[in-house]
Chain A
């Protein structure tokens, strides 16, 4: 499959220009996306009721599509896959606030509906008129790799021509508290942001590079997985690295990124 467009949002801002390599700028204390950046997305796409998580997803998704030249086009033959370890947990907890603070029969339906994982995918689909598969995935181990692999499977199945693949994490009370609750597993402050790749079955758009997925664990080998050590940082790191690799390949025609997974760690073991 081919990476035809890239979008990103992080504490550094909207766009891929300032996309940081995971681990860079560790001295930065506030890793949150600015309110202004998110407000601009919400206003532009009329996300009046959408939550912050949705705005983070939307920012990268629409940028990836625009990057490939699909800014104003209906994308009926396109799917969307959103992968997140913690999902819209700020909104989930907002709904728990309602349950804790009010009688059970007086909680807000809008808060509940936005706490559902696939609400963000719904907004992206509506805004971009995406009519293919819309899949929301969660996990803590090989999530980004498995999501890339699934994108390839969908594209090869012929049920859509493109996939907008989004990796996203939001900082909120839970993710900000992880280092204090599980200090052995979450050593550092997590990244917040999203990366979107517009993946195509044929070269189009910016055509940054082709990308292949290779599962390298052999059968019968017991994977060395430490589930409680898997971090959203690792996960988003994989998404950020993939985008950075693709951007770096953009001026090298014919480049292929091969992405592999060994025991829960994403590796880029080969760049041709």
Chain B
């Protein structure tokens, strides 16, 4: 392990896998739920999504449903980390949250009125500004550290955790609250449908018949601190953020660089931070969206780096693609699997396609290794990787 890797002392998560650490830990190794057409977004598009139908939220609040999901998981994480508002206010605490929805004012009724009349009610605008997720948390808990919302499309959650881990490594913060959150609404549904990447059936990452992704919603939050800080507070860490790497394709706004060198650079950078070799990685929780382009490119890079014995999988069939939350949730899932000593597997995979040389895991396997990798590939050519280390 690289010197003083930041550790995770609290986790909050909600997705179609489960609500909270214990529920998620148990359900991660069960059969996933089936996606279904959206009930609450008002979308007329009839493709299946992973919607949190049991999670109620008021849209007429700062940050809307996305911030409601984030607040829900933030409370879980702070409780597990045994951090009170009073204690937080006495420390140097930074907040770094990935999102794609909460950083855009895409309130359709507000915009319709503004467009028609040149003005609009103030409240949706105030809710948008006040609901900027990282700054909302900083205000709510009277924090004094940096507060950044990362809008790096599908790698936002991974980058938020990675950047926050750098804050801890650099000594800028004592504690970092990091993660990602995104809701389902009409805008991403219409947008991803227009891009032609939404499957009409449950997604099948890495499978021969894969034909697109399922959108989803959720939130994942982790509390990051130095190992010394956790020891001082008397908290047992769950696992550590051993490495983070991020690299640009510098190629195209929507297409990944065909040689996969951006993703490879991000993974290599993460391993370098962690001070480990590719042989130290027990398994990879891949981005694996179920789209043709992503899955073949990602698999080829993983095989190139980790060899044909690579153990990899995707959890997108369990959660859908939760966009800004995806990287955070998958980092948490990776940590849980590592801690449990067994992998999950790639639900939805049945047959190896011609363009992928090694099949993903089709059933859970026991693992003894200490390190695992979680990858995110984003629109815009952002590639990011986090390395999780099992402790103890």
Secondary structure dominating the interface of B? mixed
**Residue B115 is within 8 A (CB to CB) of chain A in the complex:** yes
Q: Which of B100, B190, B273 contacts A116 (CB 8 A)?
A: B100
Contact partner of B152 (CB less than 8 A), chosen from A108, A132, A134, A143, is A134
| A119 pairs with B246, CB closer than 8 A | no
B130 contacts chain A at the CB level, 8 A cutoff: yes
Q: Which of B112, B245, B254 has the most CB of A within 10 A?
A: B254
- Quick one: which of A197-248 are within 8 Å of B by CB? 215, 217-223, 225, 227-228, 230
A177 pairs with B114, CB closer than 8 A = yes
Q: Check if B16 is an interface residue, CB within 8 A of chain A.
A: no
Asked if B129 contacts A228 (CB within 8 A), the reply is: yes
Minimum C-beta distance from B185 to chain A (A): 11
Q: Which of A35-78 contact B (CB under 8 A)?
A: 49
Check if B144 sits within 8 Å of A215, measured CB to CB.
Answer: yes
Which chain B residues border A117 with CB–CB below 8 Å? 100, 103-104, 151-153
Q: Are B45 and A105 in contact (CB-based, < 8 A)? A: yes
9 shortest interchain CB distances as A-B pairs:
A112-B191, A122-B380, A117-B151, A109-B194, A138-B103, A217-B144, A118-B380, A125-B250, A125-B248
From 94 to 114 in chain A, residues with beta carbon under 8 angstroms from any chain B beta carbon are 95-100, 103-105, 107-109, 112-114
Flag the segment in B71-79, B86-94, B287-295, B340-348 that touches A. Answer: B86-94
Least Cβ distance of A75 to chain B in Å?
9
* Alpha-carbon distance between A145 and B378 when the two chains are bound, in angstroms: 26
1/0 per residue, CB under 8 A from B, across A110-141: the answer is 00111111110111011011111111111111
Q: Are B120 and A220 in contact (CB under 8 A)?
A: no
What would be 28 A-B contacts, judged by CB atoms less than 8 Å apart? A79-B248, A95-B191, A98-B190, A100-B112, A100-B115, A103-B44, A105-B44, A107-B193, A108-B194, A112-B191, A116-B380, A118-B151, A126-B381, A130-B250, A131-B261, A131-B265, A136-B151, A138-B151, A141-B147, A146-B146, A156-B170, A157-B170, A159-B273, A173-B115, A174-B105, A178-B125, A217-B144, A228-B126
Interface residue stretch chosen among A11-19, A85-93, A188-196? A85-93
B382, CB-defined interface residue at 8 Å: yes
Chain A residues within 8 Å of chain B by Cβ, number: 77
Question: Please, how many angstroms separate the alpha-carbon atoms of A126 and B380 in the complex?
Answer: 10
Contacts of A222 in B (CB 8 A): 89, 142
- For A145, give the chain B residue with the smallest CB separation: B146
How far does the Cβ of A232 sit from chain B's closest Cβ, in whole Å?
A: 10
Please indicate the chain B residues that have their CB under 8 angstroms from the CB of A219 in the complex.
89-92, 144
Given A135-B150, A138-B132, A146-B148, is A109 in contact with B125 using a C-beta cutoff of 8 Å? Answer: no
Contact size range, B: 35 or more
Cα distance, A146 to B112, chains bound together (Å) = 34
B28 CB–A CB distance under 8 Å? no
- Given known contacts A159-B269, A219-B89, what 9 new A-B pairs fall within 8 Å (CB)? A89-B104, A96-B111, A107-B190, A117-B153, A129-B250, A134-B381, A139-B134, A149-B146, A181-B121
Whether a CB of chain A sits under 8 angstroms from the CB of B356 is no
Q: Per a CB cutoff under 8 Å, which of A104, A150, A181, A221 touches B120?
A: A181
- A112 and B106 form a contact (CB under 8 A): no
A182-B126, A227-B129 known; A118+B378 contact, CB < 8 A: yes
Instruction: Take A182-B122, A222-B142 as given contacts and tell me if A113 and B151 are in contact as well, using a CB distance cutoff of 8 Å.
Output: no
B186 contacts the other chain (Cβ, under 8 Å)?
yes
* A235 CB to nearest B CB, Å: 12
List residues of A (139-179) whose CB comes within 8 Å of B's CBs: 139-143, 146-147, 149-150, 153-154, 156-157, 159, 173-174, 177-178
Q: How far, in angstroms, from A147 to B245 measured CA to CA in the complex?
A: 18
